[in-house]
Amino acid sequence: MPGAIPAWSWPPQPIKVLKWVFGYPGLLFPWNAIFFGIAVATWAYLTPELARMVEFRIDWIAEIYFRNLALLVVWASALHLWLYTFRGQGTTYKFHPKWLNDDKNLTFVGGTQLRDNAFWGIASGCTVWTAYEVVMMWGYANGQIDLVDWNTAPAYFTLMVLLIPFWRDFHFYLIHRLIHWKPLYRTVHYLHHKNVNMGPWTGISMHPVEHVFYFSVAMLFWFVPSHPLMVVFILQHAVLVATTGHTGFEDYVVKGKAKLPTGQFIHYLHHRYFECNYGSQMVPFDKWFGSLHDGSPEAHARMQERWGEKRT
């Protein structure tokens, strides 16, 4: 499990914080820089002009939907092919000793875990993701949402790019605690938790209601002036982080030796034990609120004590 993020150290350690922001691995590199680069390319080359989005029309809505679908399929499939189909790094850095359930299982749509995950990610996830983006773009096109031009406020946008991952973690923790409320868990979140041993397609394999909660992260920009690029970025960030972080591997092996970290061990433990690690490691909400399980025997004992029952 990676060490503590210096942003939360006390007393403050500004030099360490700067090294973490711009170093490797850190806030920007590798993943957030990659995801922001994808968002910039998407906005520049694959997004209809705002002038076309003044009215809800099937042509530009379809362009956004199929662009989002292509990104999801390419990203999740590339990770799945390398890690599970070709088993390019074997079980090196794999959390769970077993591979994904490819046997017939009637609890999964289509009879297998992979088909089930892909179905919910595409049929529901991509649809809800696109719906949020379409409404937000319509809002910008009609002046319902305040638009700030990147060229006139570069420092503001740079700060926003750095802060969006923190907002995503804060939002995720809040909605994740909400959907672990028993009525919502039994009717909604249980679907995601069918995946104890997870893979790339597990990332946004969720109930439609959970997708509505999850992608509401973009609603921030109804209240905070920004640019449509930030909407593209925050929604893609929600998809790509979930997909990359649910692969079931702590690190990716590059050329047999170099490692590309995912840093999602605590979320694997959440899928294994359910009632711990509701957030991620960007903002230590679980540590602050006593729900952290770091994999140690002491943390496991605390979890058992907290819930009054043994979980194996």
pLDDT at position 311:
46
The answer to whether the beta carbons of residues 25 and 13 sit under 8 Å apart is: no
Q: Does residue 310 lie within any of the structural domains?
A: no
pLDDT truncated to tens, each residue of the chain (312 aa)? Answer: 345 688 888 888 999 999 999 999 899 999 999 999 999 999 999 999 999 999 999 999 999 999 999 999 999 999 999 999 999 999 999 999 899 877 778 789 999 999 999 999 999 999 999 999 999 999 999 999 999 988 899 999 999 999 999 999 999 999 999 999 999 999 999 999 999 999 999 999 999 999 999 999 999 999 999 999 999 999 999 999 999 999 999 999 887 777 888 768 999 999 999 989 999 888 999 999 999 999 898 988 888 888 775 444
Q: Does residue 1 lie within any of the structural domains?
A: no
For β-strands 251-254 and 258-261, DSSP reports them as: antiparallel
DSSP code of residue 301: H
Full residue range of the structural domain in which residue 173 is found: 43-272
The answer to whether the beta carbons of residues 126 and 69 sit under 8 Å apart is: yes
pLDDT at position 309:
56
Q: CB-based contacts of 260: which residues, under 8 Å, 6+ apart?
A: 30, 251, 252, 253, 254
Q: Which amino acid is at 279?
A: G
Residues across the chain? 312
What's the pTM value of the predicted model, to 2 decimals? 0.95
pLDDT at position 4:
66
pLDDT at position 166:
96
Distance CA 224, CA 303 (A): 38
pLDDT at position 102:
72
Q: Does residue 291 lie within any of the structural domains?
A: no
SS (H, E, C) 228-284: HHHHHHHHHHHHHHHHHHCCCECEEEECCCEEEECCCHHHHHHHHHCCCCCCCCCCC
Which tokens in the block code for residue 153?
């406020």
The answer to whether the beta carbons of residues 279 and 270 sit under 8 Å apart is: no
Number of compact structural domains in the chain: 1
